[in-house]
Amino acid sequence: MSVADVQIKNQLKEGEGKIKKENSSANPLSGKIIAIFLTIIILIIGTFFYFFLSGKSSGIAASSSNEVNSDVSQKQMASDDNEYQEKSTNSEGSSEINTKNSNSLFNHILQENRIFTKRDATGSIKLFYYYKSEEPIDIQLKEGNIKDYQVHTIGGQKYYPLIIGYEEAKTMREEGLFNNIGDPIKNFYGKNVVVVGVMKKLDNAFDMIHITPLNSGELN
């Protein structure tokens, strides 16, 4: 073997040694890069699954919440409907009550302005209510009978019926204008009247009223 051949072999061996050194030095770096790359991939996959599962849980919770709210809304609507029906029923019952009491004295006064006043001989103001006997009316009497509220003939003369409020009846009795139901009163504001009833005590203006079928123009 020549010297040249020996030199070539030595050079080849040196080259192989350098390559091995380079490969051995590069392998650790390549391993680190691969490890980092895998770690990043794992983190990305983990993050993806985390948000995916979180979104799914939120969707389930929202769905459950909507179902609960829907159930509450349905119950509230049912409750409101029942309350409306109860109010309607109560309103209908109230209407029936008002219909039954539509003939009350108070309702008659609200429907038409039939109240007027007169002054007596002393200048005191007296309260009157014009009521025609043919109209149905509910007057609560302490004494007398509403059936007697009609024109009477006494001694050949016409006497108009008079119903008096509780307190006014006491005053008229004290003044000696009448004592009992059926007593006639002559020239009562220019007309002859007969007391046919005394109202129950109501603790209001009706206690001072005179109910008569004569209007303001017919009385002095």
For residue 74, give its domain range: 1-100
The C-alpha atoms of residue 220 and residue 218 are separated, in whole angstroms, by 7
Write the burial class of residue 163 (CB in 10 Å: 0-12 exposed, 13-18 middle, 19+ buried): buried
Evaluate if residue 52 carries a pLDDT over 70.
no
Give the global pTM: 0.53
Q: Which of 44, 71, 100 is the last residue of a domain?
A: 100
How many alpha carbons lie under 13 Å from residue 180 in its C-beta half-sphere? 1
Evaluate if residue 24 carries a pLDDT over 90.
no
Nearest to 186 by CA among 162, 215, 213, 210: 162
Q: Which of 82, 100, 118 is the last residue of a domain?
A: 100
Residue where the block lists tokens 């794992």: 42
Q: Are 171 and 207 in contact (CB under 8 A)?
A: no
Q: Within this chain, do residues 205 and 156 fall inside the same structural domain, yes or no?
A: yes
Q: Within this chain, do residues 55 and 21 fall inside the same structural domain, yes or no?
A: yes
Q: Within this chain, do residues 128 and 178 fall inside the same structural domain, yes or no?
A: yes
The pLDDT of 137-143, averaged and rounded, is: 89
What residues pair up with 162 in beta bridges, in sequence order?
195
Q: Within this chain, do residues 170 and 149 fall inside the same structural domain, yes or no?
A: yes
pLDDT for 74-128, tens place per residue?
444 444 444 434 443 443 443 333 334 445 666 666 556 689 999 998 999 999 9
Phi first, then psi: what are they for 201, rounded to 5°? -70, 125
Integer angstrom CA distances of residue 168 from 153, 164, 189: 25, 6, 15
What residues pair up with 130 in beta bridges, in sequence order?
212
